[in-house]
C-alpha cells in the first residue's frame, strides 16, 4: 500500500487484539454525530422532499439486502426481524407527516424526520401491547438508516463494504463485532472500550486486529483516509509514511513467522518442562467456533457463551433448537469437555425481545444468574436443552455471576426439576452431569468454601472479578489504567478459590482474559490453576509458554507474587520470566 503526501499522525490507544492492519478508513458514525439543523427556503422544499424519497428507496434496498444476508447465514427466522423495518419504511402516514412538517416548519428533512420519528417511538412505548412497544425500536433503527442515507456518507452500513477497510467508530456493540466480516474488516479502532469489554473479546475470537480507548479517533479521521493499526501496541497511524509501512511490514512478517512456527504445537500437550500438565481449552460464542478450537489444538471448550445464540436471532431459541446446537458441539469435540455457561445477558449484552428496565449500572444489575432465577421458564428451557446434550458425557453446566450460596441452591433445584421432567418424558441425559459456577464476584471468592460442597468445579471469570473488586468499570477507557489483574487483592481471591477447590476435591479453571495473557500464564500455573480457557487464537502462544516453563519456576513466581505489595511489581516479574523462557512471545506482543 502506497503512502500519501499527507503528514503522518501517530495516536495511542489500547491494543486489545493482536496483529497489524493497513487500509482505507470506513467511518461508522451515527446520525447524531452528523446531524445539523438548518432553515430552508420555499424553493428548497421540493429538493428536500426528493432527498427524502431517495433516502427511503436506498434504505428499503439496504434492508432487503441485509435481510437476504441474514437469511443465508442464520436462516429465515432470524431474517424475519427485518420485516418490521420494511413496514416502517413503507408507512405512508409517517412519510406524509414528514413532508407536511417540511412545508410548515421549513427545516431540512433530517430535522423534521428526527422529530416525527421520536414522536412515533414515544407513542408506541406508551401503549399496553408488547408487540407494538417493540416497534418503537424498529422505528428508531430505520430512522437511523434513513438519516445516514440523507447524510450522503458512503459509510452507511457495514453490510455494504465491498473492499477491505479499517473500521473506525465511536464504539461497537458486542453483537456488531460478532458479525464482522474478516474479509472486509481488516481491523478496527474505536473511541471507547477496554481490553476486557465483550467487543474486545469478540475481536480476539475473530482474529481481527483492534485498538480501543482512543477517545476521539472517530472525529480525527475521514472516510477513505489511510490508516495503520497495531493491535499489539495500541499504536494507530493516520497517513502512515512509506518508512512506517515498510517497518510494520517487517514486524508483521516476523510475527507471522513466529506464529507459523508455533503451529507445530497443535497436537502437543500443554505440559511444562518438568511434567506438570494444564488443561488448555477454549472460549467460544457460536457453534461455528468449534472449527477454530480444533484447528488451534484446544482441549475442548472451557466456556461456551450461550447468550450469543440469543443475540443472533429475533426470538428466544427453543429447547429443541438449543439441544441440537449443544449436541453438535459436544459430539464434534468428544471426548474433550464442553463447559456450557447458562445465559449471561446484561452488562454490555442486551436482548431487545426481553423488555428490561433501564439500569444506571447494568454490570451490577439484573443480569446473568439473577435474570435466570427471575425468569425460570427461560432458564429451564435452556437447562433441559443442556441436559439433553449431556448424553455425550463430556458436557458440563456452569452458572454465571454467582454471588452467594442461595443462588447455587436455587439453580440446582431448578436443574433437578428439569431432570425430573426429562425422566418423566423418557428423554435420556447424564444423571451425573457436572455442574459448576463462575467465580467472578468477590463475595463468591470469599465464600468459596460454602459453595464448593454443592458444585463439581469452579471457573474464575477474572474480567468481572477484577472489575467488581477494584471498582473499575471495564468498558470505561478513562479508568482502564486502574484495571489491574495483578493487584494483590485479585491474586488473593484467585488463590483462595483455587485452594478451596482443591481442599474439596474439585478442579478450578480460569476462563477470563487473564488466562489468555501469556505474561500471566506462569503466575496462574504456579497458583495451582487446573485449567486455562482462552480464545482459540491464543492457544499457540499460551501453549508455547507452558511448554517452555518449569513448574518450579511458576511456583517461585506465584510465591513472590503473593508476597508482593505492588501489582506493577508482579507484572514486571511475570514479564521478566517470559522474556527468559520465551522471548518470541514478547516480540509477538510488541
Catalytic positions: 198, 511
Alpha helices (H) along 221-318: 242-262, 290-296, 307-311
CB 282 within 8 Å of CB 535: yes
Exposure string over 99-133, b if 16+ CB within 10 A, otherwise e: bebbeeebbbbbbbbbbbbeebbeebeeeeeeeee
Rg (CA), the chain: 25
CB 119 within 8 Å of CB 139: no
Please name the residue that has the C-alpha cell 449436541: 327
Closest by Cα among 69, 485, 100 to 119? 100
| CB neighbours of residue 355 within 10 Å | 9
Q: Report how far residue 194's alpha carbon sits from residue 172's, in angstroms, rounded to the nearest whole number.
A: 12
Q: Report how far residue 115's alpha carbon sits from residue 121's, in angstroms, rounded to the nearest whole number.
A: 10
CB 301 within 8 Å of CB 281: yes
CB 145 within 8 Å of CB 63: yes
Exposure string over 8-33, b if 16+ CB within 10 A, otherwise e: beebebbbbbbbbbbbbbbbbbebee
Amino acid at each position: 500500500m502506497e503512502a500519501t503526501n499527507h503528514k503522518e499522525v501517530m495516536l495511542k490507544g489500547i491494543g486489545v487484539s493482536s496483529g497489524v492492519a493497513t487500509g482505507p478508513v470506513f467511518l461508522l458514525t451515527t446520525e447524531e454525530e452528523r446531524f445539523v439543523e438548518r432553515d430552508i427556503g420555499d424553493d428548497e422544499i421540493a429538493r428536500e422532499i426528493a432527498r427524502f424519497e431517495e433516502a427511503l428507496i436506498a434504505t428499503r434496498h439496504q434492508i432487503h439486502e441485509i435481510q437476504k444476508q441474514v437469511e443465508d447465514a442464520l436462516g429465515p427466522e432470524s431474517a424475519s426481524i427485518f420485516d418490521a423495518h420494511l413496514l416502517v419504511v413503507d408507512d405512508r402516514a409517517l412519510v406524509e407527516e414528514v413532508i407536511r412538517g417540511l412545508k410548515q416548519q421549513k427545516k431540512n428533512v433530517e430535522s423534521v424526520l428526527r422529530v416525527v420519528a421520536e414522536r412515533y417511538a414515544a407513542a408506541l412505548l406508551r401503549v399496553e401491547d408488547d408487540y407494538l412497544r417493540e416497534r418503537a425500536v424498529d422505528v428508531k433503527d430505520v430512522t437511523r438508516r434513513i438519516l445516514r442515507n440523507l447524510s450522503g456518507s458512503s459509510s452507511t452500513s457495514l453490510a455494504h463494504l465491498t473492499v477491505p477497510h479499517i473500521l473506525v467508530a465511536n464504539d461497537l456493540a458486542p453483537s456488531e463485532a460478532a458479525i464482522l466480516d474478516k474479509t472486509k474488516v481488516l481491523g478496527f479502532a474505536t473511541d471507547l472500550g477496554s481490553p476486557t469489554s465483550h467487543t474486545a473479546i469478540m475481536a480476539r475470537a475473530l482474529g481481527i486486529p483492534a485498538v480501543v480507548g482512543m477517545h476521539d479517533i472517530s472525529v480525527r479521521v475521514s472516510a477513505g483516509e489511510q490508516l495503520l493499526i497495531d493491535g499489539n501496541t495500541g499504536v494507530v497511524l493516520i497517513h502512515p509514511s512509506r518508512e512506517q509501512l515498510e517497518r510494520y511490514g517487517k514486524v508483521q512478517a516476523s510475527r507471522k513467522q513466529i506464529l507459523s512456527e508455533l503451529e507445530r504445537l497443535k497436537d502437543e500437550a500443554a505440559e511444562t518442562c518438568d511434567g506438570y500438565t494444564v488443561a488448555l481449552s477454549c472460549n467460544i460464542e457460536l457453534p461455528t467456533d468449534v472449527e477454530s478450537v480444533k484447528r488451534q489444538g484446544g482441549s475442548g471448550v472451557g466456556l461456551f457463551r450461550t447468550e450469543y445464540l440469543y443475540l443472533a436471532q429475533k426470538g428466544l431459541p427453543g429447547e429443541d433448537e438449543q439441544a441440537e446446537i449443544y449436541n453438535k458441539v459436544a459430539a464434534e469435540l468428544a471426548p474433550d469437555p464442553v463447559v456450557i455457561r447458562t445465559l449471561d445477558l446484561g452488562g454490555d449484552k442486551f436482548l431487545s425481545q426481553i423488555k428490561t428496565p433501564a439500569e444506571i449500572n447494568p454490570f451490577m444489575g439484573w443480569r446473568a444468574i439473577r435474570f435466570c432465577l427471575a425468569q425460570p421458564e427461560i432458564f429451564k428451557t435452556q437447562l433441559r436443552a443442556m441436559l439433553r446434550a449431556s448424553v455425550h458425557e463430556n458436557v458440563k453446566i456452569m452458572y454465571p455471576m454467582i454471588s452467594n450460596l442461595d443462588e447455587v441452591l436455587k439453580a440446582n433445584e431448578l436443574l433437578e426439576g428439569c431432570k425430573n421432567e426429562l425422566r418423566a418424558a423418557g428423554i435420556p441425559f447424564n444423571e451425573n452431569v457436572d455442574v459448576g459456577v463462575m467465580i467472578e464476584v468477590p463475595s463468591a471468592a470469599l465464600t468459596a468454601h460454602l459453595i464448593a460442597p454443592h458444585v463439581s468445579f469452579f471457573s474464575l471469570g477474572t474480567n468481572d472479578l477484577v472489575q467488581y473488586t477494584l471498582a473499575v468499570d471495564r468498558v470505561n477507557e478513562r479508568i482502564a489504567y486502574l484495571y489491574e489483574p495483578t493487584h494483590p487483592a485479585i491474586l488473593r481471591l484467585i488463590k483462595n478459590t483455587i485452594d478451596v477447590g482443591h481442599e474439596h476435591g474439585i478442579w478450578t479453571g480460569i476462563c477470563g482474559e487473564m488466562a489468555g495473557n501469556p505474561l500471566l500464564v506462569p503466575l496462574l500455573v504456579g497458583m495451582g490453576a487446573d485449567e486455562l480457557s482462552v480464545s482459540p487464537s491464543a492457544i499457540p502462544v499460551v501453549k508455547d509458554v507452558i511448554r517452555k516453563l518449569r513448574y518450579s519456576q511458576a511456583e517461585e513466581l506465584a510465591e513472590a507474587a503473593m508476597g508482593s505489595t505492588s501489582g506493577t511489581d508482579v507484572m514486571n516479574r511475570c514479564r521478566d520470566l517470559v522474556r527468559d523462557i520465551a522471548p518470541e512471545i514478547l516480540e509477538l506482543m510488541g
